[in-house]
Structure 1
Amino acid sequence: MTRTSVRPRSTVRALALGALVLGLAAGCGADSGSDEAPAVEGPGASEQEDAGTTADDDTADDDTASEGAASDDGAASDDGGEAPAAGAAALPADADLATEQLPITAEKAVEIGLGAAGGGELVQIEIDHDDDVWEWELEIVDGGRQHDLDIDATSGEVTEHDQDDDDDQDPAVDVTSPMPYAEAIEIALGKEPGRASGWDLSSDDGRIHYTIDIDRSSGDDDVEVEVDVETGEVRVDD
């Protein structure tokens, strides 16, 4: 009689369960190796990108503002004063002051003179061509002190400045009021046509007047024409 060996049922069940576990494990490993986990953008990454974009925009705005400011400064510099540009050309000796303007105007010359004197009142101003240059001559009085100044009418340089005690009581003069010098020149030329080669504003016995130097168109001798700043009265001094 032949005996057949039979494994216990519990042993067979255990083996089958182990094979199932091994199969499931192998399947999970294959899935994880073939599929890539999707990239997840968290809020931190999005905020960093936004911050970078904002910084770039701010930098561009700052650059634009800087360029605008530089442009504005340049414009102010170009239009900012009466001083002549560097290398301003001098007027020729035979310039007509009725139609041509000196690089340093009368108003600017007075400003320069008052600055050099430290203040005071203008009592006389004259412009003429002397020693190959156009030159302003000013007399300014400040607290009993008289300042005589020569100012280059092309560069604005104070070429001479003398001081002395002043006992006179000359009235102050103004190249803009009550009669601007351009108006006085026009009145003088209406009386004696020619070229305005120079002029002076001063006082005589308390009467303030312009004296316009005119080279007559007729070729006759030069003439001086006085114009009263208050009345406009004209007097010719041959």
Structure 2
Amino acid sequence: MTRTILRPRSTARAAALGALVIALAAGCGGTEQGEDGAAPADEPGTAQDGGASDGGGDSEAGAPAEDDATADGAASDGGAEAPDEQDPAAEALPADADLATAELPITAERAIEIATETTGGGDLVQIEIDHDDRAGAWEWEIVLLEEGTQHELDIDATTGEVTEHESDEDDDQDPVVDVTAPMTPSEAIEIALGQEPGRVSGWELDSDSGTIRYQIDIDRAEGGDVEVEVDVETGDVRIDD
């Protein structure tokens, strides 16, 4: 005799419901962790704590401190601002200055440089300094000889401006003169004042009959003026009243 065993419906339902709960539990767990594809907010090493977004450091704490030099603008232009090196305008000597003690803003050496730069070269054959009453200024008069051309230049002894420049053909072979050797203007002035005391109002260096000499212009204290010639080679003096 064959027996058929019937399973109670309640048992089958219970089994089916259990399987459904397991499936739902598995689906809910995956959704909770991966619904937006991001790791939980409290998981270390994620973008939410700043560790990965800036490559390993806080965006403010990781940046270098602002340099003081950059903050005050010094570094942006390569350092501190250079001081103003522009010199004040040279002060002109009074018309009655004594060239034995006063120094002109444009020295004899500088005046010769200016003249040579203006002409492009040449040998110095004459230089003179005196006060031009018409111009109201001390003025250098310089003569340069360059390959048969004679240049005559007037240079303001205060500003260095070339106020006049003339040139002519000249085949004369005048001796070249030098304000630094064998005798300087100050040495010639000292010799001249030893013979004729007074105020030095000007001087000239050139040649006369092949002899190079200084001519010192002196205003005597008691009145009148005198010219004292000093030979640059021998130091001999000749006085021309």
TM-score by length of 2: 0.73
Residues 151 and 63 from structure 1, CA distance in 2 versus in 1: closer, same or farther, beyond 3 angstroms?
same
- Displacement of 1:231 in angstroms is 2.8
Alpha-carbon distance between aligned partners in 1 of 2:102 and 2:94, rounded to the nearest angstrom: 10
Alpha-carbon distance between aligned partners in 2 of 1:165 and 1:156, rounded to the nearest angstrom: 26
Partner of 2:230 in structure 1?
227
Cα offsets for 1:57-84 (capped at 9, x unmatched): 7x94x96384449628x55xx5xxxxxx
**Which is worse superposed, 17-26 or 110-119?**
17-26
**Which is worse superposed, 133-142 or 85-94?**
85-94
- Displacement of 1:122 in angstroms is 0.8
> Which amino acid counterpart does residue 108 of structure 2 have in structure 1?
A
Aligned to 1:100, which of 99, 102, 116? 102
Residues 16 and 43 from structure 1, CA distance in 2 versus in 1: closer, same or farther, beyond 3 angstroms?
closer
How many residues were matched structurally? Answer: 220
Aligned to 1:184, which of 160, 164, 188? 188
- Displacement of 1:208 in angstroms is 1.3
Cα offsets for 1:14-40 (capped at 9, x unmatched): 31232244356557767889x515434
- Displacement of 1:196 in angstroms is 1.4
- Displacement of 1:121 in angstroms is 0.7
> Which amino acid counterpart does residue 138 of structure 2 have in structure 1?
W
Three-state SS of the structure 2 residue aligned to 1:71 is coil
Partner of 1:64 in structure 2?
75
Percent identity of paired positions between Structure 1 and Structure 2: 53
Alpha-carbon distance between aligned partners in 1 of 2:144 and 2:235, rounded to the nearest angstrom: 25
Gaps of at least 5 residues in structure 1 are 79-84
Q: Any conservation in 1 of the 2:74–2:81 contact (CA below 8 Å)?
A: no
Cα offsets for 1:152-186 (capped at 9, x unmatched): 22222222222222232111111122222222223
> Which amino acid counterpart does residue 116 of structure 1 have in structure 2?
T
- Displacement of 1:86 in angstroms is 6.5
- Displacement of 1:128 in angstroms is 0.5
- How does 1:10-159 map onto structure 2 within 5 Å? 10-23=12-25, 36=41, 37-38=43-44, 39-40=46-47, 41-42=51-52, 45=55, 60=70, 64=75, 66-68=77-79, 71=82, 75=85, 78=86, 87-130=89-132, 131=134, 132-159=136-163
**Which is worse superposed, 115-124 or 182-191?**
182-191
Q: Which has the larger radius of gyration?
A: 2
CA RMSD between the two structures = 3.7
Alpha-carbon distance between aligned partners in 2 of 1:161 and 1:170, rounded to the nearest angstrom: 19
Three-state SS of the structure 2 residue aligned to 1:212 is strand
- Displacement of 1:190 in angstroms is 3.2
Gaps of at least 5 residues in structure 2 are 1-6
Partner of 2:204 in structure 1?
200
Alpha-carbon distance between aligned partners in 2 of 1:98 and 1:65, rounded to the nearest angstrom: 52
